[in-house]
Amino acid sequence: MAAIVIVMLPEEGHIVPTFKLAKSLRARGHRVSYLVPQHLERYVSAQDFECLSVSDDFWRTDATGGAPVTDPVERMNAVIYGNRRELVALLRETALDLLVVDSYIPTVALAALEGGIHITFINVAFDTHRPFALLDSLRQTTRAGDAALAALARVPQIVTYPREFEFAQVLNEGRPLYHVEASVDAGRNEPPFPWEKTDPAKPLIYCTLGSQCHLFPQSRQFFATVIEALRSRPDLQLILSVGKNLSADFGDVPPNVLVVNWAPQLDILRRAFAMITHGGIGTLKDCIFFAVPMIVFPMMRDQPMSGARVVYHGLGVRGDMKRVTAEGVRSLIEKVERNPAYAERARAMSERFRAAEDEGRGVKIVEKILGVLERRRPARPPADLTPSAA
């Protein structure tokens, strides 16, 4: 069986969607481990995965080796590429057969390619063009030539949602894209939650803006607006998770609102009739899996694409984060409440997602990639890690 290492953008929203696939691969006899920064080692280890831990500084040093980079994801990619020698050395020590790389950190793939390590992309977002856009914007930093970019364009990209959730017409432009199951890990380990502080007799709404909501300046005001919206709906129960980096103290909170820094999302969605979300793909997939209609307020990155898909498939409604009011939030909640079509479409899409989970295409694709690599062995010798001339 194969030794597989997974490396994701170091945030929960990118790591969690890979757990189910990783567990399925391990159940098939493969050795699966994660390359993570130190601050995430305990979190990933709690899911019973082996971790290759690297210093947090490996991901966030200010030395970009080129022109100033302001976008945080671009900056992280520049940092990683600057540390590529240590990265490749660490990966070689593991004697891995395949490196599974988040499409949001393509400089890891570029370094692995230069180091003679077999790779495949995994995309836990909606933007399948993202790795190439990032590399193109970092040409000055990486000095990657057209040949290297063309080689990466031929690398398989595993897309972690079923094709049925796409728009009717999507151009792949000849790229090797493989849509697989959503890989919702319904059995993932989550700490206990104070359910005794909620009223089980009231219909439940769950609201969160994800693990990175503190990066969006309007998050706290948005949460305050949602709380105010539920003040005049005492017949409903709201669980509001503000993330680990924001204070859960919102002053005068009505009794039908529970504000926490963390909540067990899957357990809550099993009971909820609607969710207010930023539109992170992991959250969308969880909602669909449990047939929960959504009220989406996109913030950044691929989240507008999320909102567009939710509306396109009739799975919920979309709000405007920049113009949100308590009255507007109540209106969207009532729209989902009063129109049973949203719940019906969510159930229909849930059935498709669950069928895809049962098929387990993700494992089949990874094993197919491993089979192709096995027939091609020995791997080409490592390339010189010195960047090509500008």
User: For 136-145, what is each residue's pLDDT tens digit?
Assistant: 777 777 777 7
pLDDT score for 70: 60
One of 3.10.580.10, 3.20.20.10, 3.40.50.2000, 3.40.50.300 is the CATH number of 195-353, namely 3.40.50.2000
Residues 6 or more apart in contact with residue 168 via CB below 8 angstroms: none
Q: Given a cut of 80, is residue 127 above it in pLDDT?
A: no
pLDDT for 232: 96
Distance CA 389, CA 29 (A): 43
- What pLDDT was estimated at residue 387? 40
User: pTM for the whole thing?
Assistant: 0.83
126 or 276, which is more confident: 276
| Strand, helix or coil for residue 126 | coil
Q: Give the tens place of pLDDT for each residue, 337-369.
A: 999 999 999 999 999 999 999 999 999 999 999
Higher confidence at residue 138 or residue 285? 285
Does residue 388 surpass a pLDDT of 50?
no
Alpha carbon distances (Å) from 191 to 194, 264, 265: 10, 7, 11
pLDDT of residue 144: 72
Which residue ranges make up each domain of the chain?
A: 3-181+360-376, 195-353
Token output for 332: 């969207």
* Predicted pLDDT of residue 63: 45
State the Cα–Cα distance between residues 108 and 23, nearest whole angstrom: 23
pLDDT digits (tens, 9 = 90+) for 34-81: 999 999 999 999 999 999 999 888 876 454 444 454 678 888 888 888
In single-letter form, the type of residue at position 52 comes to: L
What is the reported pLDDT for 67?
Answer: 43
pLDDT at 24: 95
CATH of region 3-181+360-376, choose from 1.10.10.10, 1.20.120.10, 3.40.50.2000, 3.40.50.150: 3.40.50.2000
Per-residue confidence (pLDDT) for residue 71, from 0 to 100 = 77
User: Would the CA dihedral through 267, 325, 203, 303 be positive or negative?
Assistant: negative
Equal fold, 3-181+360-376 vs 195-353: yes
Strand ranges in 180-256 using DSSP code E only, listed in sequence order: 204-208, 237-241
d(CA 139, CA 357): 38
CA 365 – CA 24 distance, rounded (Å): 12
Write phi, then psi, for 30 (nearest 5 degrees): -80, 150
